[in-house]
Every structure is written in C-alpha cells, then in structure tokens.
Amino acid sequence: MKPLFICNPSQIQALKTHIKDNKIFKSADLNRCFISKNSDYKLRKNDLNGSGDAPFTRIYIDPFLEWNTQEYFGYQIALEVLENWKKKEAPGIVFISAITQTMFDKMVTGKMNSLVREFPHFDFMNLKEKTIPFGTFSNSRWKYLKAYALTSSGIVDEISHDLTTIISQNESSRTNLEKILKRVKSLSDTVGKEVMECIALYNEDTNVSTFAKALQEKIIDRLKELRPHKPSEIKVPSNMNLLIIEDNEEHLQVLEKSLTARKGYFEKEKTLFSFTNGEEALAELKSSKNEYQLVLVDLRLNDENGFAQAVHGVDIIEELQKNHPLTSYTIITGMGRKGISELLDIEMKFVLSKKQLYSFDTDSEVDTMLTRMFADVKRRERSIHYLFGPNKTIYKWRMFKANLHALGKDRYSEQVAIADRNLRLFINKELKQTFSIPTQRQEDNFDMTTIDNVHINILTLRRIYLWLALKNKNRLFLSNAEQGEYENVLNDCGIDCNLSRINSTGLHFKTIKTERDVECRQLDLDKLWPHESVIIDEWNEQHGKVLLDKLKDITVSERHPALFNFIKTYFDYKEKDFKLCNLIIPIDSSIWNFKDLGDFLIHVFQDYTDNKKNSFHYENVQAMYNDEFAQNYFEQQIAPYLPEVDKQFMELDMDI
C-alpha cells in the first residue's frame, strides 16, 4: 500500500527533494499522492475515512496547510480521519513539517493542540538521512482518543486536573492557604507536634507552593499515625510476576517501594520488573520468557518533553487482551472522574486514580489493588480451564493463548465436542485393563485397531484446531522449517521405537514406513484434552466419519506406492517429511463434498493441469512435472488403483 501525503502546495517540490532518497518513500507515487487543492481533498474523502476500495493505512500530513488563508488545516484533516474512519484496522498518522513539534505546541490552540501532543511529528528537512520509526496506532488507542482525549469533555476534564497542580504553585492561593492554616492551628492536639512546628515557619515571604508541599507531607505522616496500616495478610504466590510501566520516575519509586518493602511481597528484578518506556515494555511482553500475571500501566506515557510516546498504556493493554488472557492489569491514571468513566465505558475495566495510589496510605491502596488483581488472575485461570482447547498439548501457553484469542471461543467450540466426562473411565475400561502387561503386545500379537483409531481421532481433532488457528493467520500449514516437528507437536512427545514399552500413561501408534526404520510415536494419556472423551466414544461406535482417517492407510508407501508417489510428487515433499502429506491434504472443507477418493484425486490432478496450482493455495507447494508427464503418470499409475481403494473402504465399512 502506497502512503498518502497531504502537503502544502508550496512545499511539494521541497518535500520531493528531501524524501526522494528515503527508503520508506521510494515506492510512493509523489505526483499522485499529494493533495494540493481543497477539491482534491474532497475527492479523496473515501480513502481518508477507510471506505474506499484501497484505503490508505499510512498518512503523512503537513500540519501547516494553506488554501486561501493560512491555517493549520492538516490537523483538521487528521481529526476528520480519526472521527470518520470506518475500517476495523486503524491507520497510522504522522505529521511532517519544517516546524518542530514544540513550536506547534505553542502555536496551535483549542482542540487541535491535543493532536499536536498525541501524534508523532518529524522534520522533513532531515528525512533524507533519517528513517521515520513509523508505527500504526492501535485500535484501542484510537478508541481512547475518540471517546475521551480528543472530545470537548475530555479536554476540559484534563485542563481541570492540570489546574489542581497549577493552583498549588500560584501566589494567588495564599489566601486559601492561610484559611487552612487557621483551622489547623485550632486542632493542634489532633494534628500533632510536627505539623504545628511546620506551621510556625510560615510567614508572608514564604513560597506558597514549597510550603504547601512540605505541610502536606507532615499531614500525611500524621494521618498514617492516626490510621496505622494493618499488617498485610496478602500472600503473594511465589510464581507471581509483576510488570510496571510508568513514565514518571517519582511515581515509579513510590510503587516499587510499597511493593517490595514488605516481607512476602515482590522482589525487584526477580518477580518485579519496571519500565518507563512503552516500546521497551511492549517488546518485553512479546519476547520475554517470563509470564507476567500482573501488570500496572500508566495510561498516558510521555517522553521527557511531555509528548506522547510511540506506545501508550492502551497499546500495552491491547497486547495483554490479545495474547495474555491470564494476565490481570490495572491502568494507573491521573485523569479526573470523567476520564475514568470514559475508560470504563471502552472496557478498560481496572482503573486506579493516582490520587488514590499516592495518597496518605499508599500501602493500603496497594493491598486493595493486589487483592482485586489476585482474584482476577484466579478468575482468568478458571475461564481458560473451561475453554475448549488444549492446555499444554499443541502449543505452549503463550502460543495457545494467542491462537485461541484469534480464533474465538465460539467458533472453536463448534469444531470440538464439549466433553469433560468419562475419559478416565474409558481409559481404565477399554485400554488400561487390556494392556496391563507391558510386553503383551509382542507376545500375544493382538489387534491394535481400537487403540489406533482412538489415537488417530485424537490427533485428527488436534489437526483441525491447528489448521483453523493457522488458517486464521492466512497460513494453511506449518512452514518448511517446522514440518518435521509437526507430528511430534501433536503428540507432545518424542519418537519411541520400543514397541514393548506400553503402560497406563501412554499408547503407541505405528506410523507409516519410510526409507528409515519404522517409527513409533507415543501419545501421553495424561496430556489428553478434557473434552476428548466424547470424540473417543464416537470413534468407538462410528468408524470412518473423518476423511483424515480414511486417507491414513492409502498413503502408506508399501501398500499403494503409485498413489504414494503421485501425492508426494504433486505436493513436492521430501521423502522424510512425506508423512505430513496425509495430515495436510484432507483438511480443506471442499474435500468433504467428494463422493469417493477417486473423485478427490481426479480433482487434485485436474486442478493442477487447469490452474498450474492446487486449490488449497498452500505456500511453497508446486508440482515437479509437466502436463504431459502428469497425464501419462495418472492414467498408467494412479487410475488402476482407484477401484481397489474404493473396495478397501467398503470392506472397512467406511462410507465415502
């Protein structure tokens, strides 16, 4: 997608000169992408609100636009984009100009001033040497801006909050301060000796702001004496990790002190980790081996100049909601009541005002917060436990959480039966009793059909889940580097070639033969999904309803070498990885419409000859022979086997 530039007509040539060598903009059609007239802007409104056929996802705006009179029209365009965007994915907006962000902050007034503070600004005079660290706004951050930060009520509320600090530093508040001092003096016994000594130092030349802060500290100390904090009864679990993201060093120290000073709480750099930079914190969440059960994050993360960082607190929350469903988070904010109310409305559920946290009894507020968050972690763990999906079988927790979130609980539930009963009963009755002696399999040479069917169906179910998860990411199978581990991932165990090793915790399943030795993979019954008992029971009564199992035998090279070679050649798999072919081919939903296997194979062949590619759009999969060779190969080597294949299915009572 080419970026869109919205630029002052007088700046077009200068901008072209300064960005022509920048890698980011080399693909841009500079003559087409500029908006140089008001009429051009109107014509492009569909692109700017995301309703066009090819909406822009990256928009670079010069704030200093002028049509007939000088005005900051670029900010107005950005505001309209923000308010009217219709697509799900939010676009990224960057301002580029010869004027710095600090200068615009002083020059621009009203609602537009909030845009100056929220969006990144770059000097286009330096773009030739400098790369813009361009990042798209998250949807959560856009929702926050639209619902609160850029609304009239939100702006007024933020100004009101700022005035609280400004007033305490203004000499005009001296009268109010003296009224408070008069009342405090009348309560000398209550406020205590240290407060009274502090008041005695006040005179007309005293700086109001400095004195008010010193007095407030003394009063807070006295309040702690009058309302001593009870020893905490909270016990922090040993495996509980806490992440704090707070741009204000002073506030961060207050939090760290309260969370680490008491016995049994957190230990810095072991169970408690802190960041002042949003980007670094987000990278830690995405890449760290640590699982964070608790996260405290400041809503508005600013840089040293007071401008918004590239990653805000809401961006952190979006990452947690998407990929860390077990993590409980709390937003810490200095917003007033109106701002917190708006956050709750956009589903930022746990919000803590800094006025509460940094009050006279910080430890008590921290305990209340932790109690709530611990309860939330337990609730989340219970919710995950009853979700329909693997707990530790297909993916490790981090990958499972990401895929399950992307797939959606309801959609996944449609693919998997709800069953949390009878699994152990079935294992004890059907499997454990039958194979109680480890060496019995070799000695008695008994039929393994039941066990094989059970194992196959369990893996089938897991393959369906994996396929759906990958398809949701527009990838229908594992990458080449991961193919060799596919079956092991499904079983969550290594290869075990000792056929005599069978016990109550595992089954053996004989896989297809290759040029190597016969391989045996072990399915650990302790790692079955809770709902797999229903699938097992269904397989005991109704064999052959899943096409994957129908294809399992015909892909064995020793029984059907021509069919084996045809499919192997068609999908271009290496011999050692061909065992994956029968796992991947049948999963596409279109296969369920074929009346028999022959019809399916003809479809595969015809699809290749007609379209030069297969209908499943697998990545990096191509046939390795020309059309004439394929035609002869199919007619001479494949077609004669189809009646035999159909006959075998009939004998197995597997209706196709």
Q: What is the pLDDT of residue 183?
A: 63
Tell me the pLDDT band of 364, cut-offs 50, 70 and 90.
confident
State how far the Cα of 627 lies from the Cα of 567, in Å rounded to an integer.
15
CB of 300 closer than 8 Å to CB of 117: no
Indicate whether 477 pLDDT > 70.
no
Token readout for 439 is 């060496």
CA 632 to CA 562: how far, in whole Å?
13
- Token look-up 């960057």 returns 94
pTM above 0.75, yes or no: no
CA separation for the pair 190, 227 (Å, rounded): 12
Distance CA 110, CA 102 (A): 16
Residue 495 is encoded by which pair of tokens?
């290869």
pLDDT in tens, 332-344: 887 765 666 666 5
Percent of the chain whose pLDDT exceeds 90 = 3
Give percent of the chain with pLDDT exceeding 70: 34
DSSP letter at 272? Answer: E
pLDDT of residue 113: 75
Find the mean pLDDT for residues 304-327: 83
Residue 277 above 80 pLDDT? Answer: yes
Q: What is the pLDDT averaged over residues 70-82?
A: 74
Render pLDDT for 237-265 as a digit per residue (tens, 0 to 9). Answer: 767 889 999 998 888 888 888 888 776 77
pLDDT > 90? residue 307 = no
Every domain of the chain and the residues it spans: 4-137, 169-226, 242-382, 386-542, 544-656
Q: What's the CATH superfamily of 242-382?
A: Response regulator (3.40.50.2300)
> In whole angstroms, what is the distance from residue 651 CA to residue 656 CA?
12
Mean pLDDT across the stretch 455-474?
Answer: 42
pLDDT per position as a tens digit, 514-548: 333 333 333 333 444 444 434 434 433 333 333 33
| Distance of alpha carbon 623 from alpha carbon 614, whole angstroms | 9
Taking residues 13-29, report their average pLDDT. Answer: 54
The owner of tokens 């090793």 is 501
Q: Is the pLDDT of residue 185 over 60?
A: yes
Q: 39 or 307, which is more confident?
A: 307
User: Which of the residue ranges 46-50, 56-60, 91-95, 242-246 would you say has the lowest mean pLDDT?
Assistant: 46-50
Lowest mean pLDDT segment, chosen from 200-214, 425-439, 620-634, 635-649: 425-439
**pLDDT at position 553, please?**
38
Share the mean pLDDT of the chain.
57
H, E, C per residue of 594-656: CCCHHHHHHHHHHHHHHHCCCCCCCCCCCCCCCHHHHHHHHHHHHHHHHHHHHHHHHHCCCCC
Task: For residue 61, name the pLDDT band (cuts at 50, 70, 90).
Answer: confident
Give pLDDT, residue 270.
Answer: 84
